[in-house]
Amino acid sequence: MGKLTQAHIKAAIGKPGRHHDGDGLVLFVRESGQASWVARIQHNGTRREIGLGSLRAVGLGEAREKASTVKAALVAGRDPHLALKPPKEMTRTFREAALGFLEAKTADAKISDAKRKQNLSQLKTYAFPALGKLQVQSIDADTIAACLRPIWTRKPETARKVRSLIIRTLRFARPDGALFIGTLGPAVADRLPAQPKRGNFEAMPYAELPAFMSRLADKGGMGALALRAAILTAARSGEVRGATWGELDLEAAVWTVPAERMKARRPHRVPLSPAAVALLREAASIKRAGTDLIFPASSGKALSDMTLTKVLRDMDAPFTVHGFRSTFRDWAAEQTSLPGEVAEAALAHTVPKAVEAAYRRTDFFDKRRELMDSWSRFVSGGDAAAVLTFTPRATR
């Protein structure tokens, strides 16, 4: 415990000289009344003093932390003069870091040149004016939210893409990026208002979904089972209602929807989370004879879309079945730091022609499996903390 207190410091301003806090920390007061902190150390057999900043800029607590950092560096055999200097990567401007991030992606065959140009254009237009000249170390949730706020509700889709680019740049640029980003995404979301609903599909806020899924699991009937499957897989209602046993490989945990049943008329592989596999095994235990449908109506034909809607109405849930796809998309954007392309691939959305070539080379299946596993843990009310800190592998 140090000797100095705030009262001692206040009195020391009028007493030029050296005021010792202990453990090498000294407050040096000049005749002019100016005061600064120094750390006294023994380095290579010589006593030295390392400046820690003026009293006006550095408080007692911070001065003690800095002095401790200097001594720790000395014990570890590092140059104590460099201990207080941030890593070079942290002093780069955001613009420099972003250009470096995009340059590193030029070797990624999964990303087209058109996509990279689009990313650069979005950063130049919406991020660089506010963040471009700031050092990476000074950018936090407040500065990112302030940057996005002018377009957050006016251009919601663009704003989400820009947010993803900002967060991915910081993950790339900071030495502690993988750990830092796990808390940054949710912190930015907390500082921004809700975006307007997209289209005519009322979406449940994702924070309400775990409690809703718990209620839904207690509700019997094929419609409730199909609705749970739609939520866990983020699939369209028609894809779930028309699903057949022949499309499943439960051992590999993969559901392959044929092209003729997909909106984009391309086959779509869905990675099945453990929760989704358990649900499908539950459906297998009540499999009906005479039909290959996983979720048949009592007639043996496919359930109608109104059957799933009725489940929501019976539960007094003022949302639509399709809206749960928007719920998933919002969760993926705000609670994970995966690129938006991965979530879009999970939703089997049609992509612009500029990035179509990239999608032909990959469907991000492995990353989607990680994403869907995290999603299922979240909606099932499992390890929520693991979801909030979810980040993809570092890109460096």
Please report the DSSP string for 307-326 in residue order. HHHHHHHHTT----STHHHH
Res 310: pLDDT: 92
Res 145: pLDDT: 94
pLDDT of residue 199 exceeding 60: no
pTM of the shown model: 0.51
Select, from the ranges 91-100, 111-120, 167-176, 288-297, the one with the highest average predicted confidence (pLDDT): 288-297
259-299 pLDDT, tens digit each: 999 988 889 999 999 999 999 999 999 999 899 999 999 98
Q: Which residue has the higher pLDDT, 128 or 265?
A: 128
Q: Which residue has the higher pLDDT, 143 or 42?
A: 143
Ranking 19-23, 195-199, 260-264, 368-372 by mean pLDDT, the lowest is 195-199
Output the six-digit token pair for 387. 């979801």
Q: Which residue has the higher pLDDT, 15 or 197?
A: 15
Res 295: pLDDT: 95
Q: How many angstroms from the chain centroid is the CA of residue 289?
A: 45
157-170 pLDDT, tens digit each: 788 889 989 998 98
Select, from the ranges 4-18, 31-45, 93-107, the one with the highest average predicted confidence (pLDDT): 93-107
Res 109: pLDDT: 60
The stretches of the chain forming alpha helices (DSSP H) are 6-12, 60-75, 88-91, 94-104, 113-122, 128-131, 141-152, 156-173, 177-190, 209-217, 222-233, 237-241, 274-285, 305-314, 323-335, 340-346, 353-361, 365-379, 384-388
Give the mean pLDDT of 126-131.
Answer: 94
Domains, the chain:
6-85 (3.30.160.390), 90-190 (1.10.150.130), 206-388 (1.10.443.10)
From residue 14, alpha-carbon distances to 34, 52, 201 in Å are: 9, 21, 69
| CB-based contact 215:335 (threshold 8 Å) | no
